Amino acid sequence: AILSLTGKQPTNVNILYLGTATYDLPGPRERQTLRFIEAGCCVSALEVVNTAPGPLQLSAAVEAADVIVVSGGNTLFAVDRWIRLGLHQLLREAMERGAVLTGGSAGAICWFQGGHSDSMDPDSFKINMLAAAASQQGDESSTAPTNISEAKSWEYLRVDGLGFLPGLVCPHHDKVQSNGLLRALDFDSMLLRHDSELGIGIDHWAALEVCDGRFRVISVEGKEGSVLPDKTFSPDRKGVPGIWLKEVHDSKVEMRLCPSEGKLELLLRNPKVIKKDARTDACRIDNPDDAPGP
């Protein structure tokens, strides 16, 4: 689906991989670009975590890309780093000229106004991810505990994205991570605190495609998700993957299943106000960007 949006043959497609959210680690890059390489695409990576490429180098990399793939990982760190380097404006220009912008998890949140993020999970901090990768213990986001007594003590955070699309996105909407909390339920709590925003809950095996003023829900066949045959929500992933739309009315979260396709203007809306999460600055201190600036 991603390559078809370019209108080119795969061998003529240039892929730019941004692994900032996983600190430019090779493991995630190799896994997330393998299918593109197998299809014959030209794949390159723009590494900005430990170095500060100059404006000309950044521009050249972004302008050459037909598809820009953003990794999962720590959304807050990645978006902050891009803004610090001026990369955010180049990404907007890429969107405006028709490049395909894509990614999962942090790579989905970043295109929207904000998201339900695991950026406060210490396992997603730079120092810990680099150490875990070096010891081959893992290099991506945490998984659910085997029992609740092993749940780790950290909270989900509302983070800002780049604001290319309106909405507050929750990736992995149907899953549980190492804090033992179902993201769908915690997302409801977040929306009550940020009650002007439209919530978009994307199941782990689902995706939202936006193109030419229209949207389409994509789900991986044969995978588990939260949509039951009667179109109700399954907290135990007994259904198929889908996307849920959530809004707060009269201090209650109302949820409805996202249509399979339609006009984007009928799906998304801008909030009256965006409330910042008070814990954001503390998270930045815990996971600092200690690399050179521009």
pLDDT tens by residue, 147-197: 878 899 999 999 999 999 999 999 999 999 999 999 999 999 999 999 999
User: 176 to each of 14, 53, 114, 144, 182, how far by Cα in Å?
Assistant: 35, 37, 20, 5, 5
Average pLDDT of the chain, as a whole number: 95
Q: What is the reported pTM?
A: 0.96
> Is the distance from CB of 119 to CB of 171 less than 8 angstroms?
no
Q: Give 42's pLDDT tier (boundaries 50, 70, 90).
A: very high
Q: Which residue has the tokens 């799906």?
A: 267
State the sign of the Cα–Cα–Cα–Cα dihedral 183, 215, 28, 205.
positive
